[in-house]
Amino acid sequence: ILLFIVTRTIWIMDKVKPWRTNHSTSLPYELFTLDISTRLRSDPNSIKLSSSDFGNMVKNIPCAVLFPTHVTDIIDLVKFSYNSSRPFTIAARGNGHSVRGQAMADEGVVVDMRSLERFGGGNGIRVSWDSGLGFYADVGGEELWIDVLKATVEHGLAPVSWTDYLYLSVGGTLSNGGVSGQTFLHGPQISNVHELDVVTGKGEFLTCSRHLNPELFYAVLGGLGQFGIITRARIVLDKAPKRVKWIRMLYQDFSSFTRDQEHLISNNVLDYVEGSLIMHQSSSNNWRSSFFSNTDQSEIASLLSKHGILYCLEVVKYYDDANINTVEQELQLLLKHLKFNPGFVFKKDASFIDFLNRVRAGELKLQSLGQWDVPHPWLNLFIPKSRIMDFHAGVFINIIQAQNKSTGPILVYPTSRKKWDDRMSAVTPEEDTFYCVGLLHSGGVDDWEALDAQNKEILEFCEKSEIVLKQYLPHYNTRKEWMNHFGEKWSSFQDHKYKYDPKMILAPGQRIFH
């Protein structure tokens, strides 16, 4: 017996050794006696990949990374931590496209969700139909939306609500909301989910929906990963169109631009409505500029030099064989009443997939120029409609245009609160219509802090001006700020944490409870 104990201890110590060199004794050694220990890695590459994100501004070093080959690996890891006398933190990393370390676990364990897809041990993407729900897809939380799109269009179907960029994981966007130009019509991605499988912070594996474990279902959607790791989501599908008519129109006047946007989201004729600012500073390094030809760009440049700032309304109408003969007419009728600059309307006809995957071409271009993996001090805000003119004057004109240091797209488009479910954890402004504003800055290694300082100035301006905004993809440093962010939802948010993750194990990178 003594010999067995000695050899077993030597064996365990041998396994633990590589950790000790990185992060010494932070993880309990018993972890290495579990079957999952062979999927836990602490080599420099694994650690490096999991200690940074798209934002490139935060670095948090985990002790180890779990590369699960099956959902049970995740259950075993969380259960172990929960039952341990020294629980450690665990962060699910979808595709690591957060910007402020939200998917990191300093001195904890990062779960590389994509590994489930690589090893085929996740839920994959399965399309089904039933009389109650219609068509839907059961999708692993680790899947990317681009793959969900490709798999579902093969059946002539597709999800209805999207993000602008599709190389994001299903679990990652459902933890936040998932917004884009379709949100006004279908709600955010979290409004288009029937059911979830979740591993809670106690290591329980639970299925939840509006009828089964509803409290967990609503808590997890928009819950910033605080209550459980999503391993499967049942997503609403609808018939996929074949092609789209894609139009951009330029305005020199912000109030006409927003009036037209609000009109367009109220009549439900279009399938997508967004908008962006065009300034001198944002014309380069902008994934969205590929829409315009060289001739268009020089015309736009001369209009821009006259006005200093332009507003680009972007709309899309889906079509297929059924409405191929009427779609143009319908759009003409709609455009006739809009107040864009005459002559500054640009049209494209694209496949549904090319339209949805529109950001990819820009990404590849920036990657080839070495401008993709740079710091991204982003600020995403929801602004109530009643204050968007004040926001325009105080932020777009007096801060961003005046300081002339912004690079990257600036998005601004309205959406409707009616399409959000208030029982979910996600928070929005109180008004029926609010604007999604994305300041998607790209910084250099040396100058991103100046852009971040500008973000702080913007938030201070809004606070002083009593613009009651909500941050989307929020980032705060204090408990008081989080309480303010969740407002009336804070006490239930906190109760859900005590119920589903009482040892505060999950998603430490959000810095809400840790």
- Active site amino acids: 97, 164, 274
Q: How far is the CB of 168 from ligand FAD (least distance, A)?
A: 4
Given the complex with ligand FAD, which of 60 and 180 has the nearer CB atom? 180
- Fill in the per-residue mask, 91 to 130: x = in contact with ligand FAD (CB under 6 A), - = not in contact: xxxxxxxx---xx---------x-----------------
Region of 203 on the Ramachandran plot (φ > 0 left; ψ -120 to 50 alpha; else beta): left
- φ, ψ for residue 372, nearest 5 deg: -95, -45
Position 196 contacts ligand FAD (CB under 6 A):
no
Q: How far is the CB of 146 from ligand FAD (least distance, A)?
A: 12
Applying CB under 6 A, among 68, 108, 122, 178 the residue interacting with ligand FAD is: 178
Q: How far is the CB of 172 from ligand FAD (least distance, A)?
A: 2
> Which amino acid makes up residue 388?
I
CA atoms of 396 and 347, how far apart (whole Å): 27
- Fill in the per-residue mask, 464 to 493: x = in contact with ligand FAD (CB under 6 A), - = not in contact: ---------x--------------------
Q: Are 251 and 303 in contact (CB under 8 A)?
A: no
Position 355 contacts ligand FAD (CB under 6 A):
no
> Buried b / exposed e across 447-462, counting CB within 10 Å, b at 16+?
ebeebbebbeebbebb
Q: How far is the CB of 487 from ligand FAD (least distance, A)?
A: 20
Q: How far is the CB of 173 from ligand FAD (least distance, A)?
A: 4
User: Footprint of ligand FAD on residues 24-63 (CB under 6 A)?
Assistant: 53-54
DSSP per residue over 55-104, as a string?
T-S-----SEEE--SSHHHHHHHHHHHHHSSS---EEEESS---SSSTT-
Position 275 contacts ligand FAD (CB under 6 A):
no
SS3 letters across 230-293 = EEEEEEEEEECCCEEEEEEEEECCHHHHHHHHHHHHHHCCCCEEEEEEEEHHHCCCCHHHHHCC
Applying CB under 6 A, among 62, 171, 409, 429 the residue interacting with ligand FAD is: 171
Applying CB under 6 A, among 16, 58, 168, 366 the residue interacting with ligand FAD is: 168
Q: Tell me the window of 146-154, 164-172, 456-464, 496-504 that interacts with ligand FAD (CB under 6 A).
A: 164-172
Could you give the dihedral angle defined by the CA atoms of residues 318, 320, 322 and 324, in that order, rounded to the nearest 10 degrees?
Answer: 80
Greatest Cα pair distance in the chain? 89
3-state secondary structure of 438: strand
Residues at the site binding ligand FAD, with contacts judged by CB under 6 A: 53-54, 91-98, 102-103, 113, 141, 163-165, 168-169, 171-173, 175-180, 224-225, 229-230, 473, 507, 509-510
